[in-house]
Structure 1
């Protein structure tokens, strides 16, 4: 069976994966881009912004694993758009006409709408479903490949609490946010079900992976 994978979720030292006060102008609230500066310093990250340059070390090598083996994605409503986006019938996500996913993407929302086909192979499907139901639907669309659980933190936490994540990659960024949405709340003892490894890189971040025992 295909795996359910979380990739490149950045969290602060105090466990926040997004800041407080999210809006159209500030998708990560008061955190701004501080959680992702490490990413956009790499060649891969700068290429996503259509800018030259960037580092080519460990961070870059890990980021280049983003599309490998992924056949579908599930994301929460908070990742797809700003609070209240469902009231805007023209909203198609913050990634432009050619999003970086290139697979079916299932957006979990209490406000379903018709699917949207984008350039590059991405099609957004809007569903109101439990984590288990959404994963079953995404696996059918993934054609035997893995399913990315794309965030935000509330959705990732729900999938972890339901025992549905096979591989989790977290990037611990050396900043303190103090407020926002935390990833780990209610998940005490999670590490007992996984093999945990970590590696720090010259950028100052620490990559932590949780792989379900026995995989």
Structure 2
């Protein structure tokens, strides 16, 4: 069976994956882009911004695992847009006309709407479903490839609580946010279900990989 995997979700030293006060102009709230500066210093990250240059070390190597082997993504409503996006019929996400996913993307929301087909192979489907039902639907669409569990932190926590995550890559960034949405709340003892490895890089971040035991 295909894997359900989380890829390069950044968290602060105190466990926050987004800051407080998210809005259209501040998608990560008071955290700004501090959780992701390491990413945009890499060649892969610069490429996402259509810029040249960037490092080609371990950080870049981890980021290049984003696309290979992935046939669908599931994301939460908070990743797809700012609070209240469902009231804007013209909102199509924050990635422009050609989003980077290039697969079917299932957006978990209590406000379903018709699917949106974008350039480059991305189609957003808006569903109100449990983690297990959403994963079953995404696996069917993925055609045997893996399903990326794209975030945000509340949605990832729900999938972890349900025991549905096979592999997870978390990046610990050396900042303290103090407030926002934490990833690890309510997940005491999670480490017992995974083999965990850590790699620290010159950028100052630490890559943690969680591989479910028995897979």
Indicate the SS of the match to 1:34: coil
Partner of 1:60: 60
Matching residue of 1:73: 73
* 1:32-51 paired onto structure 2 within 5 Å: 32-51=32-51
Partner of 1:182: 182
Matched residue SS, 2:72? strand
How far apart are the structure 1 equivalents of 2:54 and 2:85? 33
SS at match of 1:184: coil
Structure 2 Cα separation of the partners of residues 187 and 56 of structure 1: 34
Count, aligned residues:
215
* Correspondence 1:158 to 2:143: no
Q: Is the partner of 1:191 in helix, strand or coil?
A: helix
In structure 2, C-alpha distance between the alignment counterparts of 1:186 and 1:148, rounded to whole Å: 22
DSSP-derived class of the 1:11 partner:
strand
**Any idea what the Cα deviations from partners look like across 1:122-173, whole Å, max 9, x if unmatched?**
0000000000000000000000000000000000000000000000100000
Displacement, 1:214?
Answer: 1.6
Q: TM-score, normalised on structure 1?
A: 1.00
> What value does the CA root-mean-square deviation take over the aligned residues?
0.3
Partner of 2:35, secondary structure, is: helix
Q: Secondary structure at the match of 2:197?
A: strand
The aligned counterpart of 1:205 is 205
Equivalences for residues 1-215 of structure 1 within 5 A: 1-215=1-215
- For structure 2, the 5+ residue unaligned runs are none
Unaligned runs of 5+ in 1: none
